[in-house]
Chain A
Amino acid sequence: DTGVSQDPRHKITKRGQNVTFRCDPISEHNRLYWYRQTLGQGPEFLTYFQNEAQLEKSRLLSDRFSAERPKGSFSTLEIQRTEQGDSAMYLCASSRSGGYTFGSGTRLTVV
């Protein structure tokens, strides 16, 4: 078990482009979460999956954001028509019960 893996670690994209991030949770964890963190702030909740079902989406997740978790394993987070305000660290976490285990995050820079 190598923990929670996120790919890529860094992504630089031009404004208006689409980007997709991937998260591979710990294999026996049925819960998967996406968070966004900007400098000097704590992580902000974006969305939550239990197995393949997306059970909650934050109001922060605009129409340009979509997340999937096919087959209840890995998850993807897609941002369409990126804006400079989307620049942040995108963190994935998984859990079975109790505490989260975070991935190393994907740092997105929109230029």
Chain B
Amino acid sequence: GQNIDQPTEMTATEGAIVQINCTYQTSGFNGLFWYQQHAGEAPTFLSYNVLDGLEEKGRFSSFLSRSKGYSYLLLKELQMKDSASYLCATSSGGYQKVTFGTGTKLQVIP
């Protein structure tokens, strides 16, 4: 089965750093995605972790621990435009089906 948990909402201050955690229990786990979704829009790809460790991409970094079933998305130097929902999703099975969590709604305040 598939089970993905992430906080429902978070608030952070412009210019600060925020970490969004995700835990998962996924059969046939391949890798973990993070997507950003602004209200009323489609999700956009942020990162994909297959191996343990931290991957950095500009202001965004994503971490994965396969043994712990744990990932986080780290956003640095927050900007107002970063206010969005952040979806944790796991890829599993032979054809890499993606299952999404419910998303974490991040509000960046001045």
Number of contact residues on A: which range applies? 20 to 34
Is A103 in contact with B42, judged by CB distance below 8 angstroms? yes
* B contacts with A: majority SS: strand
Q: Which among B42, B43, B95 has the greatest number of chain A C-beta atoms within 10 A?
A: B42
For A50, A100, A103, A105, the residue with the greatest tally of chain B CB atoms inside 10 Å of its CB is A100
Q: Is A108 part of the contact surface with B, judged by Cβ < 8 Å?
A: no
A33 within 8 A of B: yes
Question: A42 and B87: CB pair below 8 A?
Answer: yes
The answer to whether A99 touches B102 (Cβ under 8 A) is: no
0/1 per residue, A34-70, Cβ < 8 Å to B? 0100001111110010100001100000000000000
Which 4 pairs across A and B sit closest by C-beta, in order of nearness? Answer: A42-B100, A102-B42, A99-B45, A43-B100
